[in-house]
Amino acid sequence: MDSLFIIILFSSVSAIAAFVWFRLARYPFSMPWFSTALLAGATSIFPALFFQYILRTAGGILQPSGKWSFFAEIFIRIALTEELSRFLILLILFAVVRRVSGDPVRMPNATGLVAGLGFAILESSVYGASNPVNPLLRAFTSAPLHGACGSRVGSSVVLLPERPVQGILRFLSAVAIHGAYNFMLNIPGRFPTIAAVLIVISALVSAIQVIRSEMKAQE
C-alpha cells in the first residue's frame, strides 16, 4: 500500500507542476478547463482497458504468437489502445466544446498534455501495485510520458479534419514514442533504462516547446 501511494504521489507531481507552470507563465488555461482535461484523461483509461481486453481474448491476427507477440503486446495492445482511447475521449470533449461555444478548442496540445497526466494518475492506481517492472522508474517517468504523448494526440484531433495526413502522423508519433518507452523498460540492462528516460525527456521537451508557442498565440 505504501509503495502504491508513493507511485500515485509521484504521478500527481507532474500534474501539479503543469498547473503551476501555466499559472506562473500566465497562460490562458483556466482551472475549470484544467480539471476537465485532467478528468477526461483519467476517464480514457476505461476504454483502454476494454480495448486491451478485446485484444487479449481475440484470436487469429489480433493475437500473434512467436516472436511477434512481444511487439504486439508493447506497441498494439498497450501503446495503441491507450493513445486511441485518449484520442476518442478528446475527440468527444472537443466536439462538445465546439457544440456549446461555437468555437474550436484553442489549446489542444496543452489540453492533451493535461489529459495524459490525468490518465497517468489513474493508471498508477490501477497498475502500480501489480506491475513489477521498474516501479520506481515508472513512478518518475510514466506521467511525463503520458503527458507528452497526450499533447500529440490532442493536436492530432484538431489536425485530422483539415489535414488528415498530418493528424494521422501526429497520432502515430504518440503511439511510437509510447511503444518505444515500454519496449526499453522491458529489456534488462542499464542502457535500455537510460534510453527510456531519454525518450521521455526528448518527447516532453518537444511537447513543452509546442505548448509554449500555442499559449503565446492565445495571449
Q: What distance in Å separates the CA atoms of residue 85 and residue 137, rounded to the nearest whole number?
A: 24
**What are the φ/ψ torsions at residue 45 (nearest 5 degrees)?**
-70, -25
Q: What distance in Å separates the CA atoms of residue 152 and residue 116, rounded to the nearest whole number?
A: 10
User: What value does the mean pLDDT of the chain take?
Assistant: 87
Q: Yes or no: say if 185 and 192 are a contact pair by the CB < 8 Å rule.
A: yes
Flag whether pLDDT at 31 surpasses 80.
yes
DSSP readout, 69-81?
Answer: HHHIIIIIIIIIH
**What pLDDT, on the 0 to 100 scale, is given for residue 188?**
83
Cα separations in angstroms, 78 against 2, 74, 122, 175, 191: 26, 5, 15, 9, 22
Mean pLDDT value across residues 23-38: 91
Eight-class DSSP state of 58: -
Reading the block at residue 34, the C-alpha cell is 484544467
pLDDT, tens digit (0-9, with 9 covering 90-100), for 179-217: 999 999 888 888 988 999 999 999 999 999 999 998 887
User: Is the whole-model pTM more than 0.95?
Assistant: no
Given the C-alpha cell 498565440, which residue does it identify?
A: 217
Q: Yes or no: say if 142 and 66 are a contact pair by the CB < 8 Å rule.
A: no
Residue ranges per structural domain of the chain: 2-218
Reading the block at residue 186, the C-alpha cell is 522491458
Mean pLDDT value across residues 79-91: 97
Q: What distance in Å separates the CA atoms of residue 123 and residue 120, rounded to the nearest whole number?
A: 5
